Chains A and B, each alone.
Chain A
Amino acid sequence: MQTFIDIVLFLMLAATAISIVRTKSLFAIVMLSGVFSLLSALLLVTLDAVDVAFTEAAVGAGISTVLMLGTLALTSRTEKPSSHSNFVPFVVVLITGAALIYGTLDMPNFGDPNAPAHVHVGPDYLERSVEEIDVPNVVTSILASYRGFDTLGETAVVFTAGIAVLLLISGLRRRREDEEADEVDDNEGQS
């Protein structure tokens, strides 16, 4: 049953991804990427990652769609057809995919309880979080307590990105007005 749901959701994801490849309208592409994020959130729920699914639905389908629509409003709406051939990228992607699939052949089966990932620190967190942190959601207790410094580093990254975006965007209107003023000056000088 799990495999069946996985495959149905995957087919929907693949259909969305392929229509993103083929669509030219950037508005449609942004909307399809929101659909992709929501479908991937569904798939994450079937993989037991409810917190991640929640974040993916809020951040991937919500905020990033809004940011991309803002970019479209400031730039252009359609994609120009590319002039060079698609053969070389296709071969590159095939080779990379084949290498990755070759890499998975050594991995344990999906859901195997004796996989290396489940016998190292994972069980420790599950056992000790009850006494040490006393929060029902283990993901929360790891995120905020055991790996609190990771979360601090994440906040630093988000802060840096926010400053960089502000620096890049901030002078937009001022520069545009300056250009218009220059053009007016030029026209007056010529006449």
Chain B
Amino acid sequence: MDFDFIIGHLNYWLFIVLMMTGLYIVIAKGNLVKKIVGLNIFQTAVFMFYISIGKVENGTAPIFPMDMNVDPSVAYSNPLPHVLILTAIVVGIATTSLGLALVVRIHEAFGTIEEDDLLKIERDMATREYELHGSAMGGRA
């Protein structure tokens, strides 16, 4: 593993660090809005990783001169990852808004957006149902 290899891969590793920060927020934090922010960080880091694959050394943005006289000595970066990520950003905002709508709906139904409180409410509901059905069948549930 020489110096060139490390410099050439440093970019990828930095993006992976950002991805893992987002994943950590999703797993470790209980607030549903914060989880969605974490997902957004993860997603943006993946986008930057993907775009960095399309980068060409000494290249420029894939936009030709207006008169369309393309100089063959100019290197252009690969436009295909850019297109895919443009689509992914828009789909990402659609899924984010769906997640936020679910958060609003959960807050309306349970009065909280903390994972711990939601689990406790669900456990209490289950216990009450067991007791109800248990007494209806004349014994313990």
Q: Footprint of B on A, CB under 8 Å?
A: 3, 6-7, 10, 13-14, 17-18, 20-21, 26, 29-30, 33, 36-37, 40, 43-44, 47-52, 55-56, 59-60, 63-64, 67-68, 70-72, 74-76, 79-80, 82-83, 86, 89-90, 92-94, 96-97, 100-101, 104-105, 107-113, 115, 117-118, 121-122, 125-126, 130, 134, 136-139, 142-143, 147, 150-151, 154, 157-158, 160-162, 164-165, 168-169, 172, 175-176
Contacts and interface: CB of A to CB of B under 8 A. Distances in A.
B79 A104 contact: no
Contacts of B17: 14, 97
Given A50-B61, A79-B34, A117-B81, A104 B98 contact: no
A142 B80 contact: yes
Interface residue range, chain B: 35 or more
Contacts of A59: 89-90, 92-93
- Describe A's contact surface by its main secondary structure: helix
Most chain-B CB neighbours within 10 Å: which of A17, A55, A68, A105?
A17
B16 A104 contact: yes
Nearest to A167: B101
Contact of A33 (B37, B57, B92): B37
A56 B44 contact: yes
Contacts of A67: 93, 96-97, 100
A100 B45 CA distance: 13
B13 to A, nearest CB: 6
Nearest to B26: A89
Interface of B: 4-5, 7-14, 16-25, 27-31, 33-34, 36-38, 40-41, 44-45, 47-48, 51-66, 68, 70, 75-87, 89-98, 100-105, 107-108, 112-117
Contacts of B54: 47-49, 117-118, 122
Contact of A169 (B13, B40, B101): B101
